[in-house]
Amino acid sequence: MPIIPELLSAIGAGSLRVVDLTNRLQASTPTLRLPAPFANLIDFSLETVSAYDEPGPFWKHANIRTGEHIGTHLDAPIHWISGRDGHDVSEIPPARLFGPAVVLDFSAEADADADFVLDVHHVADWEAEHGAFEPGTWLLLRTGWDRFSSDQEAFLNADETGSHTPGFTAECAAWLAARPEISGVGVETVGIDAGRGAELNPPFPAHFHLLGADKYGITSLQNLALLPPTGAAIVVAPLPIVGGSGSPARVYALVEAEAAAR
């Protein structure tokens, strides 16, 4: 039986739900703030060129200006020095951008400790309970951080010691990077590394290990609470920017309605 008609009719009938995992993109969308002496990207902006007026009497259109790593976005391998000889965002094989989505819910841990980092034993325990990862898996780390996604200050949660947001240990990042069945990781925070990732060895180990191993990262995800631990599929759609180290992306999940989170 052909698969596509069945898929589309399930979406049409609502038995297969399309869940948008993307933060809305606007000037106020929370973004990374690197400390001096590092340089920051520009935030997103929309500059109207015409709006049914003299420059364009029948139409409205605008220029967009944005950094690559703004809002919900994908990190391509060349984003990191360890992946500098790898693919840019336009070169990523499209099939790698579809895959099984597994949701590891550590929102309680991140709620208790904003500096929570996922370690190897957390993932091993999770797989023992839910099953081993399948080929093409995207590991999505749920931390509840999407509740801050319209509040720059809360999203970065910075004090005089830096940003305090959850992430991965260096050991976990290296272990995930070595697993061929993983296509990438997704997080709800501003980057795939913990807020204090600079203090780890190597600094920013999720970027270092995963992007250096031809894996991808996606950040600022939302609505992971609507996904089951296993059984959902993810669709990641970055712009094919030639030479790009990343791109804002629309990210969807397909979820069987019966499996949608209670």
Query: For residues 228 and 248, which CB has a smaller minimum distance to Mn ion in the complex?
Result: 248
Query: For residues 223 and 245, which CB has a smaller minimum distance to Mn ion in the complex?
Result: 245
CB 149 within 8 A of CB 155: yes
Give the span between the Cα atoms of 231 and 172, in whole angstroms.
23
Q: Please, what is the minimum distance in Å from the beta carbon of residue 7 to Mn ion? A: 31
Q: Please, what is the minimum distance in Å from the beta carbon of residue 34 to Mn ion? A: 12
Q: Which of residues 127-186 bind Mn ion (CB under 5 A)?
A: none
* Number of residues counted as binding Mn ion (CB under 5 A): 3
Write the interaction track for Mn ion spanning residues 221-250; mark x where CB under 5 A is met and - where it is not.
-------------------------x----
DSSP state of 221: B
Residue partners of 200: CB distance under 8 A and separation at least 6: 169, 170, 193, 194
Query: For residues 190 and 234, which CB has a smaller minimum distance to Mn ion in the complex?
Result: 190
Q: How far apart are the first and last CA of the chain?
A: 31
Residue closest to 79 by CA, chosen among 209, 176, 199, 196 = 209
Q: Which of the residues are catalytic?
A: 79
Q: Please, what is the minimum distance in Å from the beta carbon of residue 87 to Mn ion? A: 15
- The secondary structure of 114-137, three-state, reads CCCEECHHHHHHHHHHHCCCCCCE
Q: Please, what is the minimum distance in Å from the beta carbon of residue 253 to Mn ion? A: 20
Other Cβ atoms within 10 Å of 257 Cβ, number: 11
Query: For residues 166 and 246, which CB has a smaller minimum distance to Mn ion in the complex?
Result: 246
Write the interaction track for Mn ion spanning residues 13-52; mark x where CB under 5 A is met and - where it is not.
----------------------------------------
Q: Which of residues 64-103 bind Mn ion (CB under 5 A)?
A: 69, 75
Other Cβ atoms within 10 Å of 3 Cβ, number: 7
Binding site for Mn ion (CB under 5 A): 69, 75, 246
